[in-house]
Amino acid sequence: MQRRRLRGVSRAGGPRPDRAAGTTSRIGVEALEPRQLLAVTATGSLPDIAVAAGTGPAVVSTDGLFAVTGVDVQGTVVRMATQAGAGSSYRDLFIELFDTAIEGRSAAPVSTANFLDYVTSGRYDSSFFHRATDFAGDTGPARFLQGGGFFDRGPGATQRVGEIVSDEPIALEWAADRPNVAGTIAYARTSDPNSATSGFFFNVSANPSFDDPGGVGRPANQYAVFGRVLGDGQAILDEYAALARFDADGPSYGTFDTLPLAGDDSTPIFDRLLSVRSATVVAAPQATVGLRVDSSDPDVVSARINTDGAIELAYGTVPGDAVVTVTGTDLSGDEAETTFTVSVAAEPTDGDIIREIVLGGSGPTSLVATDADGTRSSYTWRGPGTATFSFTIADEPVVSGRRVTVPNAATLASIAFDGGSASSSLVVASAGGDGFVEVERIDSVGAVGRLTLSKVRVTDGVSLADGVAAVVLAGVGGVVDIGGTRVATATLGDVADAEVTLPAVGALTLSGVRDSTIALASTGTVVAGAVERATLTVTGNPRRVAFASLADATVQFPDAAGTLAVAGSVTGSRVEVGSRVTAVRVGRFIDSALLVGVAEGVDLPADGTEIAASSRLGAFAVTSREPDAFAGSQVVAGAIGTAQLGLLAATPGAGSAVVARTAAVVSGRGPTRPFTIRKAEGIADVAEVLAASGVGADRLSVTAFG
């Protein structure tokens, strides 16, 4: 056993089990009572990751990755977040306390209440295991691990190690039906049986000598067991028991003469402690999952679980592929696993480097970057989950507290969200340059609350599979797929060369749309600027739809719609409504069609059977006062309330048609005088009425089949 000095250690020896010889056999945790053991399952998956060698670390959320059908635990459960050396993966030890008596096992109410007092007061946080031994020269695995006596004050402290402030000692609560078997936790003490305070130890293997009732000339040697580890706790204890032990305070003292340490001798001793980072009571043990993560090639990517239960990835400088396996273990010990692949490519050769910067989780929450045209943008992430930014930059980013600064001329490749919720948000503000940030892709795993990206333009697509509560983007291109059930508000600036799919949207605002398709459901409002060479499909009976203009566009309402308003011109376009529309108001309606309840594939019905009898157009109005604002177009519906067609000049070849089963009022102004046709189905010769106003049959026809 190596001997090293643990400097800055107080010399008082803490409570400890007596050194006692015992059997060296190893047994599993005894099943002291029946439990309902139901399987843990992997209910989510993590996407594969591709990065360049040397990319900065990333955090991947594990929220929703596993689900537990149920596990029946009788006692209070405590989670100890342990760590074998700084930077290593956190391993959760779940401890079931014996605060409830069951058949075959008595309760330990005094011991468990004492333990919970130390847990809930935070006195075990930052503590460490200071003793481990095999009672046989310490050349083999330790038979127990002792902690609860000391804590690390952290770098910069004059006295690094302090003693945990203890309460009054408690009476020995040993019982024969709570023996010191493998996987149990018991109280450390001095030679006085009633001296236990904060110190405890885990029996890695059975230690029957700690249950010795004594005999003639031999005092009792008993230590009170008050709980046991659950899930993969025994495997974790076995790993820790295999750590090397060191004499850290020299031959004159005995407090730290078998200190378990991780790593090699070149690492500072305080970075090698077997630590308890935190201890907390578990609120819902029936659904609790312990996590373990492993990489098939740590030279490509190393992985660990951090204190938030997320996966931290550290990419290496060696190109290649590695499979990362995430294992979830419920408190019954059942396991499930899921995997994802990390591909690390060689560093770019043009002098630029690719870096992933993670906001949220245990990392920074704000980011400032300046792109090639001088636009300085700031990003702020709040709430659960993480936002990962992939930049191409010439120099390394600078981290200061909770803020990351990216050097000049940074190119943002992608933004990815993971593990967010309705309370998560990302806000972007920009100044200087052209005022806008361009990013190729935005993706998410899980829902996101609010994305206020009013200065961000996406070129190659957006995928928010589980939805977003509210989103603002300066522009989008590529495939845009927003899942979930409802978006309260969505603002998409310039939609170009895009295929957009949205769920139900309360209010949708589009600055402009060209060469794109958009599909959504709405019972609220849809407002857009100019729509060119695009198809917009809106289900769900929107209350109001307004456009600046339509050109070579198709607008479809498969169900119904409230009001449709186009401030400017509708040219070369089709507006299709399944059953009814309350009102349509347009500035100009040129070479276009408004079809309500018309059979598919029909432009101008030959008879009333090609129009749904229940379909209705409440009102149609051309609002421009220019001549021929209604030309070369068709308005068709089962029933038309009013149709106001504006000024019709006698332009040859500008034929238009109004077709319905019934039409209450069709009006306009011809070259010579206004005209009004009431109940067109009752007028014998509509053409004669139109001719009287100077409108020829080649200019306008009004047909009501009756």
- How many whole angstroms separate alpha carbon 81 and alpha carbon 70? 22
Mean model confidence pLDDT for the chain: 86
- How many whole angstroms separate alpha carbon 681 and alpha carbon 699? 20
Q: Is the pLDDT at 18 greater than 50, yes or no?
A: no
Residue 272's alpha-carbon distances to 132, 203, 244, 268, in angstroms, are 15, 22, 11, 7
- How many whole angstroms separate alpha carbon 109 and alpha carbon 658? 87
Segment (H or E) for 111: helix 109-120
- pLDDT tens digits, residue range 344-389? 887 655 555 677 788 887 778 888 888 878 888 889 998 888 888 8
- How many whole angstroms separate alpha carbon 673 and alpha carbon 690? 10
Cβ-Cβ contacts under 8 Å for 606 (sequence gap 6 or more): none
- How many whole angstroms separate alpha carbon 619 and alpha carbon 642? 5
Model pLDDT, residue 350: 54
Q: Is the pLDDT at 296 greater than 50, yes or no?
A: yes
Lowest mean pLDDT among 6-15, 255-264, 446-455, 636-645: 6-15
Better-predicted residue by pLDDT, 470 or 70: 470
Contacts of residues 511-515 at CB distance under 8 Å and 24 or more positions apart, as own/partner, are 511/475, 512/548, 513/553
pLDDT band at 607 (very low <50, low <70, confident <90, very high): confident
Share of the chain above pLDDT 70, in %: 91
Q: Is the pLDDT at 261 greater than 90, yes or no?
A: yes
Q: Is the pLDDT at 281 greater than 60, yes or no?
A: yes
Model pLDDT, residue 692: 87
CB-based contact 608:572 (threshold 8 Å): no
Model pLDDT, residue 184: 97
Lowest mean pLDDT among 90-104, 220-234, 369-383, 562-576: 369-383
CB-based contact 294:323 (threshold 8 Å): no
Q: Encoding tokens for residue 169?
A: 């000692």
Phi, psi of 510 (to 5 degrees): -125, 120
3-state helix, strand and coil shares in percent for the chain, rounded to the nearest 5: 5, 50, 45
**Among positive and negative, which fits the CA dihedral 558, 562, 566, 569?**
positive
Q: The whole model's pTM is what?
A: 0.55
pLDDT band at 20 (very low <50, low <70, confident <90, very high): very low
Residue 337's alpha-carbon distances to 236, 289, 342, in angstroms, are 17, 12, 16
- pLDDT tens digits, residue range 194-205? 999 999 999 999
Share of the chain above pLDDT 90, in %: 51
CB-based contact 46:290 (threshold 8 Å): no
**Helix (DSSP H) and strand (DSSP E) numbers for the chain:** 3, 53
- How many whole angstroms separate alpha carbon 185 and alpha carbon 97? 9
The conformational region for residue 552 under phi > 0 = left, psi -120 to 50 = alpha, else beta, is: left
- The structural domains of the chain, with segments of one domain joined by +, span 71-285
Residue 167's alpha-carbon distances to 114, 115, 336, in angstroms, are 9, 11, 41
Model pLDDT, residue 8: 40
Q: Is the pLDDT at 37 greater than 90, yes or no?
A: no
Residue 155 amino acid letter: P
- pLDDT tens digits, residue range 661-678? 889 999 999 888 998 989
CA nearest neighbour of 447 among 383, 492, 501:
383
- pLDDT tens digits, residue range 480-499? 999 888 898 999 989 999 99
- How many whole angstroms separate alpha carbon 538 and alpha carbon 172? 73
Superfamily of the domain at 71-285: Cyclophilin-like (2.40.100.10)
Phi, psi of 143 (to 5 degrees): -90, -20
- How many whole angstroms separate alpha carbon 662 and alpha carbon 593? 18
